[in-house]
Amino acid sequence: FIFVVLAYAIFNSTFLLQDFAKDVGTVLEESQKQVQDQDKFKVIAQNLQIPWEIAFLPDGRILTTERPGNLVIIVNENIKRIAIEGVNNEGEGGLMGMALHPDFSKNNFLYLYFTYKDGDVIKNKVERYVFLNDSLQGKKIIIDGIPGAQNHNGGRIAFGPDGYLYITTGDAQISDLAQ
């Protein structure tokens, strides 16, 4: 019986090694192809500070959030930073989520999710701005007091097909808050 099991294991390991060799070959082929395809990519921004979220404006400009607290506008490989007031960039916190309103081309509403401090307590919030002439105006707090911590702040926001804004939060290092 032991001989049969050993022979079976050797037989199967031979096939596993052949499959592994095929997988390695495939990975090498893909890597070589990626190197050849590098000419198809273009760097549009450099020296960003912990970029977190990206959004494409209707006019072709690009927005990205930097966790230290900047909204970055990228146009023709040039960048302009707008500091967001009140961002607390500790641990895994900072300026994270961003979403454009579904009717952005009409109302210019831009939503931002970020970590802030209320006294000594770390919290998160979502604010809405009007994005006009490369500046943020008309700040409105949508929701604040979302539990925060040094780590696990979550921070992705997006509009669903129903037009509602959805917000993901972290467990704020309190495991009972996790789903």
Tell me the per-residue pLDDT of 37-83, one tens digit each, with 9 for 90 and over: 666 778 888 899 999 999 999 999 999 999 999 999 999 989 999 99
pTM here is 0.78
pLDDT of residue 43: 86
- Residue 8 CB-half CA count within 13 A: 5
Yes or no: say if 73 and 82 are a contact pair by the CB < 8 Å rule.
yes
Asked whether the predicted pLDDT for residue 15 surpasses 50, the reply is no
Asked whether the predicted pLDDT for residue 24 surpasses 60, the reply is no
Asked whether the predicted pLDDT for residue 156 surpasses 50, the reply is yes
Q: Position of tokens 């097909």?
A: 161
Asked whether the predicted pLDDT for residue 119 surpasses 90, the reply is yes
